Structures are given as C-alpha cells and as structure tokens.
A = this chain, B = another copy of it.
C-alpha cells in the first residue's frame, strides 16, 4: 500500500522549498531526491552524484539525443536536466522521488509522467516573499527585482499544479507536503493490485 511516486515541488525563489525538501528527506528513507545532471563545473562545496552528475556539454547533448532526460533546460549557458533511469528505478522500488524544478520543467514532467504529483509552494503573501528574499542577504537588489518578476510569471501557472502548499512556517509546510504524499499513496488508481486482491476474494 506504498506505491512508488514521482512528486514535483516548485515555487518562487525564497519561498523555502529547499528547506521543506531537506526536512522531508529526513522523515523517511523512502523519500529520495532526484539528482540533476549539469554541464556546469562543480563548485567547491559540491560533489558528484550528490549535488549533481557533472557532464561535459558533449556528454549532456548525447543524453538529450538518447532520450535519457525527462526534462532539461539551458540556463546561463549551462545545461540542467533530470536523468530518467534514476527516477524510474526509484519509483519501481516503491520510493517517493522528489524533484525540485521550475514551472517549465514541471509541466514537461507531467506530460511524460501523467501520474506524477505537482506541488507548488506559496508564501503567505507577496510582501512576505520579498521580505524573505531580502532576509537571505545573498542577492543584489537587481537579483531580487528579477526574482520577484519571475515569481509573478510563475504564479500564472498555479492552476496547472495539483496542490498548493502554504509555507507560513517550515514545520507546517513540511507536514502539509507529507500529508499530500501519504494521501496520494492511498489513491485507488495507485493501488490496482491491492484492489484486485479484494475483488477476487
């Protein structure tokens, strides 16, 4: 009664989705984070297979050609994408694969995996999002303005998602994300073999 599941989590920069995902991974060993492939160079604190799978541009383009990625984007001159094998293997094992990606990628994944679950993390309001971005102290004023403009763009796609997760506080938001996964694993459409067992009594 714990079918494997592919769950996408999106949301504007600063909304706290990274923290929610980290807390989720601590809750249950069956929750696994999909590691992306990228053509950009590793940063000092990053490691192969944990932060990213590092590829040359040529290797990455080969992966695209061979249909080894379920979604990919080119961003600031580097490729980023989600390797198909990892996702499919983990779902088959009955694990819950969490994918933290942007709106475009999320909609592509939904087309390829109609059974996946799309979650979007929202802030209590726009002012709070702005406050959080400034609070991080990592972005220039120009970057903050760009991120907020991007957030407004992303909000236009809210209806394409299955669930909204309000992040008023990290623990509540994590609890909400957990409930969604628990509930989705109980959906009849994901438990056909169990149903067959009861129907054939």
Contacts and interface: CB of A to CB of B under 8 A. Distances in A.
Interface stretch (A62-70, A90-98, A134-142, A162-170): A162-170
Contacts of A184: 183
**What secondary structure prevails in chain A residues at the interface with B?**
helix
Interface residues of A, number: 31
Interface in A146-189: 152, 155-156, 158-159, 161-166, 176, 178-180, 182-184, 186-188
Nearest to A201: B126
Interface stretch (A23-31, A75-83, A102-110, A192-200): A192-200
A164 B176 contact: no
Contacts of A162: 187-188
Contact of A164 (B122, B152, B188): B188
Interface of A: 1, 120, 122, 126, 152, 155-156, 158-159, 161-166, 176, 178-180, 182-184, 186-188, 191, 194-195, 198-199, 201
